[in-house]
């Protein structure tokens, strides 16, 4: 959640902006993201948090989650 909030901030979004979060699929984080997607969404104002095969495009950042490099896309709704 902290990394998503940092991406929001770096992207210049207002704290009240609703967002969509796409997280690149990786076996080491897949289950946790799916299990906690509602909580992640509620804490980051994301209308959806999805695990997808590939993340590309504007708003995409590569981040380190527990030594696993994963791409995350955060877009304003």
Give the model confidence (pLDDT) of 21-76 as tens digits.
Answer: 999 999 999 999 999 999 999 999 999 999 999 999 887 999 998 888 999 999 99
Q: Are strands 19-24 and 46-52 parallel, antiparallel or unpaired?
A: parallel
Q: What is the pLDDT of residue 65?
A: 84
Q: Is the dihedral of CA 1, 10, 60, 71 positive or negative?
A: negative
Q: What does DSSP assign to residue 11? A: T
Domain tally for the chain? 1
Q: What is the pLDDT of residue 61?
A: 94
Q: What is the pLDDT of residue 63?
A: 93
Give the structural domain span for 26: 2-76
Q: What is the pLDDT of residue 54?
A: 96
CA distance 10 to 49: 19
Question: Model pTM?
Answer: 0.91
Q: What is the pLDDT of residue 39?
A: 97
């Amino acid at each position: 959640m902290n990394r998503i909030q940092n991406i929001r901030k770096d992207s210049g979004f207002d704290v009240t902006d609703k967002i969509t979060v796409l997280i690149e699929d990786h076996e080491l984080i897949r289950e946790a993201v799916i299990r906690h997607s509602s909580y992640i969404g509620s804490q980051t104002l994301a209308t959806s948090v999805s695990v997808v095969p590939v993340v590309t495009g504007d708003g995409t950042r590569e981040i380190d989650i527990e030594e696993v490099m994963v791409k995350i896309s955060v877009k304003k709704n």
